[in-house]
């Protein structure tokens, strides 16, 4: 796209902090809106960049957010309450305020200022548990198992309904579960947390052993967002794309085996326990994003495990057990399976 001014909501988070740097490198002007609930250190390297602007804004407060949309050519909406434990803790009213209503506010502003593109971060949690264990694609029935997924589906439906013929073209990206290191690394995502627990505790406790998930590296996710941002309008308007790759479809046993190859002498305990929450057991197809946008992830799960392991081992992340590397309510279990969530960032809310 010829336009160069991009606004990112939740830009201080796991995805947004890396995306900000990538867009600045590509010559964009970038405005970040974030409430800094989890801090803003990840944005400090960009703070003096002449094309970077930051505003401490809660996206559920339209009057505060609206002035920063002037002159914006595209919006990347990452801010949300992410994950079923966080949504469950704050309750339906607050979860819908952040995940559904705030999305409506942001898209309405984008249309009013004449922005050309609205990239929305959604989740493969929307598919829930697939019928007959068949791989799901963008046309598959949605079977949400959590309030989190329900709010994301509601936001998607609004964008698809309002986007037809609108000046601003909405494009929806359903992220697989993220992993890897970013300027604002998280250790409450399943692969990152498994590596951390293997290194610090010497053991892993696994629930829902046979369940499958889909995984994608945070840097590949950023590249996918940029592809959606820059693609021809007719390719992406009111389109949904699963963001990941088939090689990222893995069972928990496969993840444990990969971690154990890199972090030796890890004791593994399996517990037959179910719990109310985001019960995803799915394999995902990614044909559409590959064929339409040319998206091909570069980083494998094993490479990501090495990356997280080395960042901890070399002291690049000196206190990985610090709460600042987690975006979840403090009452959540520490087990990665209980806090696993699709990727996303936060502006003024809990984030898992």
For 177-231, the three-class secondary structure string (H helix, E strand, C coil) is EEECCCCCCCCCCHHHHHHHHHHHCCEEEEECCCCEEEEEEHHHHHHHHHHHHHC
Residues with Cβ < 8 Å from 229, sequence gap 6 or more? Answer: 1, 6, 74, 76, 117, 119
Q: What DSSP element (H or E) covers 148?
A: helix 147-163
Task: Please tell us whether the domain made up of 5-177+216-243 is placed in CATH 3.40.50.1110.
Answer: no
Q: Is the dihedral of CA 142, 144, 149, 152 positive or negative?
A: positive
**How does pLDDT run across 304-333, given as a tens digit for each residue?**
999 999 999 999 998 999 988 887 544 333
Q: Is 183 left (phi over 0), alpha (psi -120 to 50) or beta?
A: alpha
Residues with Cβ < 8 Å from 322, sequence gap 6 or more? Answer: none
Note the pLDDT of residue 321.
Answer: 93
Q: Is 56 helix (H, G, I), strand (E, B) or coil?
A: strand
pTM to 2 decimals?
A: 0.90
C-alpha distances (whole Å) from 293 to each of 171, 173, 194, 242, 290 are 12, 12, 32, 11, 6
Q: How far apart are CA 233 and CA 231, in angstroms?
A: 6
The token duo for 39 is 């801090």
In the numeric block, the tokens 């609930």 are attached to 37
| pLDDT at residue 238 is higher than 80 | yes
- Facing residues of 170 across strands? 118
Q: 36 and 105 in contact (C-beta within 8 Å)?
A: no
Residue 13: closest CA among 65, 100, 79: 79
Query: pLDDT-derived band of residue 351, with 50, 70 and 90 as boundaries?
Result: very low
Q: Taking each helix axis as running N to C, give the angle between helix 102-112 and helix 147-163, from 0 to 180 degrees, rounded to the nearest 10.
A: 20
| pLDDT at residue 42 is higher than 80 | yes
Residues with Cβ < 8 Å from 294, sequence gap 6 or more? Answer: 227
Domain ranges of the chain: 5-177+216-243, 180-213+247-282+299-339
Residues with Cβ < 8 Å from 260, sequence gap 6 or more? Answer: 198, 266, 268
The token duo for 332 is 């959540």
Cα 351 → chain centroid = 10
Task: Please tell us whether the domain made up of 180-213+247-282+299-339 is placed in CATH 3.90.25.10.
Answer: yes
Note the pLDDT of residue 80.
Answer: 93
Note the pLDDT of residue 138.
Answer: 97
Q: What are phi and psi of 71, to 5 degrees?
A: 80, 5
Query: pLDDT-derived band of residue 340, with 50, 70 and 90 as boundaries?
Result: very low
Instruction: Kindly report the number of other CB atoms within 10 A of residue 116's CB atom.
Output: 17
Query: pLDDT-derived band of residue 276, with 50, 70 and 90 as boundaries?
Result: low
Max CA distance (Å), the chain: 58
| pLDDT at residue 334 is higher than 70 | no
């Amino acid at each position: 796209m010829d336009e160069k001014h991009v606004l990112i909501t939740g830009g201080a988070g796991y995805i947004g902090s890396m995306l900000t740097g990538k867009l600045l490198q590509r010559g964009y002007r970038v405005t970040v809106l974030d409430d800094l609930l989890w801090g803003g250190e990840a944005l400090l390297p960009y703070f003096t960049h002449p094309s970077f602007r930051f505003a401490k804004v809660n996206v559920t407060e339209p009057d505060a957010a609206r002035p920063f949309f002037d002159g914006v050519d595209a919006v990347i909406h990452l801010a949300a309450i992410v994950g079923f434990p966080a949504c469950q803790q704050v309750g339906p009213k607050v979860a819908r305020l952040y995940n559904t209503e705030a999305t409506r506010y942001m898209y309405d502003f984008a249309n009013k200022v004449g922005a050309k593109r609205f990239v929305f971060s959604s989740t493969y949690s929307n598919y829930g548990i697939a019928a007959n264990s068949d791989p799901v694609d963008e046309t598959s029935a949605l079977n949400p198992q959590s309030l989190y997924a329900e709010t994301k589906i509601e936001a998607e439906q609004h964008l698809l309904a309002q986007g037809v013929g609108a000046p601003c073209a909405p494009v929806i990206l359903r992220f697989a579960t993220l992993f890897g290191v970013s300027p604002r690394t998280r250790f409450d995502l399943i692969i990152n947390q498994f590596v951390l627990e293997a290194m610090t505790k010497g053991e892993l406790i696994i629930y829902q052993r046979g369940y499958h998930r889909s995984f994608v590296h945070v840097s590949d996710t950023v590249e996918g967002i940029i592809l959606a941002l820059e693609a021809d309008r007719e390719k992406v308007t009111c389109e949904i794309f699963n963001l990941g790759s088939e090689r990222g479809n893995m069972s928990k046993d496969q993840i444990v085996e990969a971690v154990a190859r890199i972090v030796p002498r890890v004791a593994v305990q399996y517990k037959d326990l179910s719990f109310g929450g985001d019960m995803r057991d799915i394999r995902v197809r990614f044909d559409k994003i590959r064929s339409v946008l040319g998206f091909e992830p570069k980083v494998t799960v094993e490479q990501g495990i090495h990356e997280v392991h080395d960042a901890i081992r070399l002291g690049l992340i000196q206190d990985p057990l610090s709460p600042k590397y987690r975006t979840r309510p403090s009452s959540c279990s520490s087990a990665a399976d209980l806090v696993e969530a699709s990727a996303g960032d936060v502006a003024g809310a809990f984030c898992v």
